[in-house]
Amino acid sequence: MTSETLLPGQPLALPARSLPQSRDGRVRASLVGVTRYEGPTLTISRARPHPPTTNSVVLGVVTRLSPLQATVAISVVDGLPLPAGEEFTGVIRSQDVRATEKDKVRIGECFRGGDVVKGTVISLGDARSYYITTARNDLGVIFATSEAGATMEPVSWQAMRCPRTGRIEKRKCAKPENL
């Protein structure tokens, strides 16, 4: 059988005849780990978070902006959340935002403070931070809050709309995974 990484609260796929029932009729994971079936037994081995390496997919929050780069607090590496207080720092340089028209990129039009960004580590950078790229269609802002405080919806690869006010704000959006 295939193995998958589970997060706390995700339902477990178990044979119906051997289920102890939970409140909603489903058994849920209580720890982060990888599922593995050994005959009729399901084991979940704890997945240990690790520092980012080249080509690691990371999630983080934009903490600081400058005209040349955005600083990101990395909190998830390769799908595994890091323990609280053990975040890494990443930098998205203006030339690493998109693959084309790199000279026309304005960091302030691509990211805002508090945006949740999905990116790929392209190098280990300097002693303080990792270099991150968002130059693929599936990389960029995945969650943003508008000035009105509402969760924004992507309308194109470079804009998001506030559902409350209808106002459009520029962002470098990640293509949603289900499209």
Calculate mean pLDDT across residues 37-55.
Answer: 78
Question: What's the pLDDT score for residue 178?
Answer: 61
Q: Which of 111, 87, 80, 113 is nearest to 97 (CA)?
A: 111
CA neighbor of 157 nearest in space, from 132, 133, 138, 144: 138
Q: One-letter amino acid identity for 40? A: P
Determine the pLDDT at residue 115.
Answer: 94
Please write the tens of the pLDDT for every residue from 161-178: 999 999 999 999 998 776
Question: Among the ranges 9-13, 36-40, 144-148, which has the highest mean pLDDT value?
Answer: 144-148
Across-strand partners of 117? 60, 141
| Mean pLDDT value across residues 70-82 | 91
Phi-psi region at 42: left, alpha or beta (left = phi > 0; alpha = psi -120 to 50): beta
65 or 125, which is more confident: 65
Residues in contact with 93: Cβ distance below 8 Å, sequence separation at least 6, in sequence order = 68, 69, 131
User: Rounded to an integer, what distance in angstroms lies between the CA atom of residue 129 and that of residue 22?
Assistant: 43
Average pLDDT over residues 36-64: 83
Q: Cβ contacts of residue 176 below 8 Å, gap of 6+?
A: 154
- Asked whether the beta carbons of 142 and 167 are under 8 A apart, the reply is no
Place of tokens 């780990």: 33
Give the residue from 7, 3, 4 showing the smallest Cα distance to 32.
7
CA–CA separation, 150 and 164 (whole Å): 7
